[in-house]
Chain A
Amino acid sequence: MALLHIVNRSPFEHNALPDCLRLAKRGSGILLIEDATLAASVAGEWAGRLTAAMVEHPLYVLLEDFRARGFADEQLISGATAVDDAGFVALVCEYDASLSWR
């Protein structure tokens, strides 16, 4: 499989997610962890851009981090795959390589 991009910064505060979306090759995966999970709120202003990005990239969200920021599971953007810690590890193994956007 391709490259897995791991983003941990809030797109409301940092440029990591927009830069990652601009520079990620079609087919590469994107995993949101920590504050980056804020982007995955279905009613938030990032929902549209992430939905568009999901045409080209599988999108994964570390659910525990999303919950820890006050969101309920049903507020997760549709089309994203929720993963737990074991799922996170499995993704890193599945993909050929990973890159952290910090």
Chain B
Amino acid sequence: MAEERKSLLILCRRAPGGSAQPRELLDIALSAAAFDCAPQLLFADDGVCQLLPGQPFAGLIEALPVYGIERIFVDAQALARRGIDPARLLLPATPLAAEQIADLLEAQQLLLGG
């Protein structure tokens, strides 16, 4: 009997344009989606900049729903601290307060952080 699928969340905390790490985490997300285990993505800290148009892999971010990655969240405080208007984001990511993020993290069976 097949094992029940586990909930997976990937926490993206690095800005694009610096290291290759942010892009690598997204590749992992796409791989998981290809195996029918579409992860939830949470963008926090400098990682919220990955959701801005004009960053190097903006096209990939925009395409995430095509690959079945539709549950995308963003740390509202991280946006506010950087002066980013949620209306400018490439995707309709759900802004979450700290307590909501704490609950979201606790609800996962697998977490991958960056």
Contact = CB atoms under 8 A, between A and B. Distances in A.
A66 B46 CA distance: 27
B65 interface: no
B75 A98 contact: no
Contacts of B46: 15
Interface of A: 2-3, 15-16, 19, 22-26, 28, 96-102
Given A19-B44, A22-B98, A99 B105 contact: yes
Given A19-B13, A23-B75, A98 B102 contact: no
Contacts of A102: 13, 21, 113-114
A23 B76 CA distance: 12
Contacts of B106: 2-3, 25, 28
B13 A24 contact: no
Contacts of A100: 112-113
Contact of B44 (A23, A24, A25, A26): A23
B113 A99 contact: yes
B114 A25 contact: no
Dominant SS among interface residues on chain A: mixed
Interface in B100-114: 101-103, 105-106, 108-114
Interface in B71-114: 75, 77, 98, 101-103, 105-106, 108-114
B114 A99 contact: no
B111 A3 contact: yes
Nearest to B77: A22
A65 to B, nearest CB: 18
B74 to A, nearest CB: 12
B108 A97 contact: yes
B41 interface: no
Nearest to A28: B106
Contacts of A25: 102-103, 105-106
Contacts of B102: 23-26, 28
B11 interface: yes
A-B residue pairs, 6 tightest by C-beta = A25-B102, A99-B111, A100-B113, A23-B101, A25-B106, A99-B113
